Amino acid sequence: MKNLPENHESLAVNQEIRNRLDGCHYSYYFNRVQWNLDGNRLTVSGAVPTYYMKQVLQTLLRDLDHIDQLINNVDVISSTGLSSAYDQHTEASRATAETH
């Protein structure tokens, strides 16, 4: 789920991420988010129900010490059926329909 800290600095960053996510109003949703530290790059992934929450998540994590780059790969998957997640089946069906 989360990467294992390799040194004191990454341990501190992981703890700060956990504190920020747990202390947020949307912690229920953000507990489903995973992250990976690769040097000074933080990549977050998972799913949230709204674009607003995706933006809140990014704002929460954008000013972490020792992080120079934040990659937000979180998908927005709403209960209304709208999604930012790539659906290969839909794309393949659309391509097949266009060729026939």
The pLDDT score that the predictor gives to residue 32 is 85
Question: Mean pLDDT throughout 45-54?
Answer: 94
Q: For the segment 16-45, what is each residue's pLDDT rounded down to a tens digit?
A: 999 999 999 999 999 889 999 998 999 999
The pLDDT score that the predictor gives to residue 84 is 57
**Domain coordinates of the chain in residue numbers?**
8-99
How far, in Å, CA of 39 to CA of 6, rounded? 10
The pLDDT score that the predictor gives to residue 66 is 87
The pLDDT score that the predictor gives to residue 2 is 47
Q: For the segment 64-93, what is each residue's pLDDT rounded down to a tens digit?
A: 988 999 999 999 997 665 555 555 555 555
Q: Do β-strands 41-48 and 34-38 pair in parallel, antiparallel, or remain unpaired?
A: antiparallel
The pLDDT score that the predictor gives to residue 92 is 54
Whole-angstrom CA distances from 41 to 5, 38, 47, 64, 77 are 14, 5, 20, 11, 25
CB proximity list for 16: less than 8 A, separation 6 or greater: 64, 65
Q: What is the pTM of this model?
A: 0.70
Check pLDDT > 50 for residue 5: no
The letter for the amino acid at 15 is Q
For domain 8-99, give the fold.
GMP Synthetase; Chain A, domain 3 (3.30.300)
